[in-house]
């Protein structure tokens, strides 16, 4: 019982952490985190968070995004999969499919791809002991398909 309490506290501490990829920084590879992450730079790879992802106006992601919540002001080339709420700010540009439960699109935001809303919430799995596992690739949403 004591061990479970320690594990719960460690998981809670990890989910309360915050990470920042600053403007002018380029990351080659996938990023996985238990906590929040703010990206102002460029990531050539996928980004996964069990919490919230925030993309600043200068950000560019060439890969998929998976998170509980997201607020996007930058550019993404890939699938954006958010289990709760996705907010697209006026400067955001998404070239890829969106899968989310709730979507807020502010005037000026653009996305080119399919959109599926009202999805069932799923647990976001992060690699054990901080080990990154390859992201699963999803088929693009076609206008005539009903499943992904």
Structural domains counted in the chain: 1
Q: Give 15's DSSP letter.
A: H
Q: Which domain holds residue 94?
A: 16-119
Residue 6, domain member (yes or no): no
Q: Is residue 139 part of a domain?
A: no
Placement of tokens 């088929």 in the chain: 139
pTM greater than the 0.85 cutoff: no
* 145 is a domain residue: no
Considering the domain boundaries, does residue 124 fall inside one? no
What is the distance between the terminal CA atoms of the chain, rounded to a whole angstrom? 40
Q: Show contacts of 37-44: CB within 8 Å, 24+ apart.
A: 39/74
Q: Give Cα 30 distance to the centre of its chain.
A: 11
pLDDT at position 148: 39
Q: Please report where in the chains the tokens 């061990």 appear, as a residue.
A: 3
Q: Is residue 129 part of a domain?
A: no
Residue 31 belongs to some domain of the structure: yes
63 φ/ψ sector (left φ>0, alpha ψ -120 to 50, else beta):
left
**Mean pLDDT in runs of 10 for the chain (148 residues)?**
59 69 94 94 96 96 96 96 96 96 95 87 66 44 45
Looking at the domain assignment, is residue 144 inside a domain?
no
Q: Which of 80, 81, 78, 42 is nearest to 58 (CA)?
A: 42
* pLDDT score for 3: 62
Backbone angles phi, psi at 147, to 5 degrees: -130, 165
Structure tokens at 60: 């560019």
């Amino acid at each position: 019982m004591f061990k479970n309490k320690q594990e719960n506290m460690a998981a809670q501490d990890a989910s309360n952490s915050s990470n920042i990829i600053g403007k002018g920084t380029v990351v080659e590879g996938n990023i996985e985190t238990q906590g929040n992450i703010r990206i102002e730079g460029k990531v050539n790879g996928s980004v996964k968070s069990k919490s919230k992802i925030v993309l600043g106006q200068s950000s560019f992601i060439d890969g998929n995004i998976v998170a509980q919540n997201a607020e996007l002001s930058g550019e993404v080339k890939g699938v954006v999969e958010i289990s709760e709420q996705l907010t697209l700010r006026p400067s955001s540009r998404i070239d890829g499919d969106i899968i989310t439960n709730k979507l807020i699109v502010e005037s000026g935001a653009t996305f080119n791809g399919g959109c599926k809303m009202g999805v069932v919430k799923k647990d976001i799995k992060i690699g054990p002991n901080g080990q990154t596992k390859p992201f699963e690739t999803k088929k693009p949403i076609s206008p005539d398909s009903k499943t992904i």
